[in-house]
Amino acid sequence: MKIAVDSIALSSYVEKNLFLKEIEPSITEKYLIGALKEAGFENVIQYDRFLLESIALDTKRATPRNKNMLSWCKAAFNYVQERIPGSKLFRSEENAPWNLLLRQESKEPTCLLSPCTALKGVAGFKHVLSVMELDELFKKKEIDPEFTNQTNYQCEARVGRNHPGFSPVEVTVEANVTSLRISKDVIGQIERTKTGFIDLFPCLARCLNGGGNYPTVDENVIENRCNWLESLWEA
């Protein structure tokens, strides 16, 4: 099997490991890739680039006379499916990152390590692992990531703050995006929005405290995850 990895999930895993959180994030990433391969995953691929590709495709294909929802967040998509009419907000999963990944990797069983438990409902993945489940997998297989052989994987996109699970989506002036956290007034906010693209998300700090990560509302923990990711992406 292959496994795709969302970097934000790594930031949550690392904070529970005293050794890994003290070393350079780009080195930590290599230890974790080595641990995943030791656990039996033949190849490790980057999920972040599918998120960026999804946003690029969504913002190129606007539907005239409609506000268009970006499709990167499965939890947001699930929320609006039954609550917001398509006439108020056009949405499609065609360009969703999970579908882009599954289409590319259609010939082999693929797993996903994600900070979002909503993706567990996506057909096509062999497994979708939360960070807690990854920790359990390593313990059951008696794998200590800090003692694995360092290995790398191909990074095909510079992510940084463009990762939609990290910060508000920014594209171009021609494709302005309004970011809204889902609330009781979200339909009213959408109606009042002037831009053609809507970025919806349900979690308080986006994917940084999504349900697939170790749960937290502690601002210091979230800031530490931010700093770790920025160091990783900068490297």
Share of the chain above pLDDT 90, in %: 74
Strand partners, 180: 200
Distance CA 111, CA 4 (A): 6
- Sorted by sequence, the CB contacts under 8 Å of residue 229 that are 6+ apart come out as 7, 8, 11, 25, 163, 166
CB 180 within 8 A of CB 189: yes
Distance of alpha carbon 133 from alpha carbon 36, whole angstroms:
13
Cα 60 to chain centroid distance, Å, stands at 21
Which DSSP string corresponds to the chain?
A: -EEEE-HHHHHHHHTT-TTGGGS-HHHHHHHHHHHHHHTT-SEEEESHHHHHHHHHHHHHSPPTTS-EE--S-HHHHHHHHHHS-TTTSB--STT-HHHHHHHHTTTS-EEEE-S-GGGGG-TT-SEEE-HHHHHHHHHHTT--GGGSPP------S--GGG-TTTS-----GGG-EEEEE--TTHHHHHHH--SSEEEEE-SEEEETT-TTSPP---HHHHHHHHHHHHHHHH-
Higher pLDDT, 105 or 153: 105
Q: What is the rounded CA–CA span in Å between residue 170 and residue 165?
A: 12
Residue 173's pLDDT is 55
Using CA atoms in the order 143, 47, 10, 35, what is the torsion angle rounded to 10 degrees? 20
Read off the pLDDT of residues 6-34 as tens digits, 9 standing for 90 and up.
999 999 999 998 889 899 999 999 999 99
pLDDT at residue 60 is higher than 90: no
Round the average pLDDT of the chain to a whole number and report it: 91
| Rounded CA separation 226/8 (Å) | 9
Report the half-sphere exposure of 185 (CA within 13 A, side-chain side). Answer: 4
Q: pLDDT per residue over 177-189, tens digit each?
A: 899 999 999 999 9
Query: Which of 234 and 161 is assigned the larger pLDDT?
Result: 234
